[in-house]
Amino acid sequence: MTVKRRGKAMEQAVLDKHLVLDRQLCFAVYATAHAFTRAYKPLLDPLGLTYPQYLVMLVLWEKGEVPVKAIGQSLDLDSGTLSPLLKRLEQAGLITRLRDVNDERQVLVRVTAKGLALKQQAAGVLGAIGKAIGCDSDEIDALRQRLHDLRAQLQSSQDG
Amino acid sequence: MTVKRRGKAMEQAVLDKHLVLDRQLCFAVYATAHAFTRAYKPLLDPLGLTYPQYLVMLVLWEKGEVPVKAIGQSLDLDSGTLSPLLKRLEQAGLITRLRDVNDERQVLVRVTAKGLALKQQAAGVLGAIGKAIGCDSDEIDALRQRLHDLRAQLQSSQDG
DNA sequence: CAAAATTATATTGCGCGCAATTAAATTGTT
DNA sequence: AACAATTTAATTGCGCGCAATATAATTTTG
């Protein structure tokens, strides 16, 4: 009886430890993502952009004109997320959306002059993030690389 | 004229590089967080839990009875997120919510027997995540630590 | 070429995440 | 004791994130 109860207690302890440890990495990523979004907010508010909208604009600033599909592949987002988001960017006058004449399924997203103008502001402001995370470039790059690998591993284990 | 244009082009290149680099770490965290959520989904679906709900249950499994405020501090979430989430867990029969008689402002959240029973299932299933991320324990711990530090730095730069 | 399968986008519905507001209880101050 | 300030939750509104579905265009197959 006492033996049995000690056994149960130990099982509980092992289970607890397992759950707590298990939680740590995923939660660390989860909480850090939110911390990043919150850190960006005061910087992006003056530009009238949310953080996901800013990510989309980064893609567009780099590539000029891109089909929705390609934006989705860059950011790992689907049309359920992008369609309304792009509609808001269009309404804000930062982008245009036009059906591709060569393939009417596709919608080509293009930055407007107003959208391009934002790029300068974004660059000026976003050095602040670099300072916020303490700019040891090598360390940052190592961390980025690890996260990239981790994400690849998670995604590959999804398919298998 | 040509000099001026070369100058502009170089500014553009610097700006592009800056924006692209700037994007990398924050986006890596953002995308990895989503990848984690997606990896957890098929494991949590059978338990009827979302990933944030799972995080709340982890806190409750560890501590038994906790005020809403303390859950929020553990997970860095506010009542705007937690109130409806807890309502759903209550409706699912996994928790109860009772006003603290000693301080009627607080709501004490407690796991039910049904909620406690889920813990066993969770443990059984979630070893899968460990396998999905390739279980080098030291490396994981190092990454977790870096993310923790990064989050702390982001949060401290918020206040200052 | 016609039918079937695939591809690209949009829409709907639900659950976060968070800012802003509200309401109620407690604590602090005078 | 009375009033102000603080604390705790809940509510409202908006923008993701994503599954599921719908629609239309293209490609593939027979």
How crowded is residue A64: how many other Cβ atoms within 10 Å of its Cβ? 11
Q: Counting one residue from A and one from B, how many pairs have CB atoms under 8 Å apart? A: 172
A33: which residues sit within 8 A by CB, 6+ positions away?
B29, B30, B32, B33
How many Å apart are CA A130 and CA A41, to the nearest integer? 14
Q: Any chain B CB within 8 A of the CB of A143?
A: yes
Residues 45-64 on B with a CB inside 8 Å of A are 51, 55, 58, 61-62
pLDDT of residue A56 exceeding 50: yes
Tell which of A30, A38, A78, A121 to mutate to test the B interface (max B CBs under 10 Å): A30
Answer whether B132 sits within 8 Å of A157, measured CB to CB.
Answer: yes
How many Å apart are CA A50 and CA A58, to the nearest integer? 12
Contact list in A for residue B44 (CB cut-off 8 A) is none
Q: Any chain A CB within 8 A of the CB of B30?
A: yes
SS3 at position B95? strand
- Higher per-residue pLDDT: A139 or A135: A139
- Higher per-residue pLDDT: A98 or B11: A98
Measure CA to C1' and name the residue nearest C16. B81
How many Cα atoms are found within 13 Å in the side-chain-facing hemisphere of B148?
Answer: 10
Q: What is the pLDDT of residue B1?
A: 45
Q: What is the pLDDT of residue A1?
A: 46
Mean pLDDT of A121-148: 83
Please give the backbone phi and psi of residue A110, each rounded to the nearest 5 degrees, phi first: -135, 140
CA of A99: nucleotide with nearest C1' = C9
Q: What is the pLDDT of residue A140?
A: 87
Task: Record the pTM.
Answer: 0.90
Helices (H), B45-112: 51-63, 68-75, 79-91
Q: What is the pLDDT of residue B8?
A: 59
**Ramachandran sector of residue B150 (left: φ over 0; alpha: ψ -120 to 50; beta: rest):** alpha
How many Å apart are CA B143 and CA B135, to the nearest integer? 12
Measure B139 CA to D24 C1' (Å): 49
Q: Any chain A CB within 8 A of the CB of B11?
A: no
Q: Which amino acid is at A142?
A: A
Lowest-confidence segment of A108-112, B12-16, B39-43 by average pLDDT: B12-16
Q: What is the pLDDT of residue A24?
A: 84
Q: Which amino acid is at A14?
A: V
How many Å apart are CA B62 and CA B74, to the nearest integer? 12
| Residue ranges of domains in chain B, CATH in brackets | 2-131 (1.10.10.10)
Task: Of B59, B66, B55, give the one whose Cα is nearest residue B110.
Answer: B66
Is residue B139's beta carbon less than 7 angstroms from any atom in nucleic acid strand C?
A: no
Lowest-confidence segment of A68-77, A133-142, A145-154, B88-97 by average pLDDT: A133-142
- Write out pLDDT tens, residues A82-95: 999 999 999 999 99
Please, what's the largest Cα pairwise distance for chain B?
A: 78
How many Å apart are CA A57 and CA B125, to the nearest integer? 39
pLDDT of residue A120 exceeding 80: yes
Measure A106 CA to C7 C1' (Å): 9
Which letter does DSSP use for residue A60 in this model? H
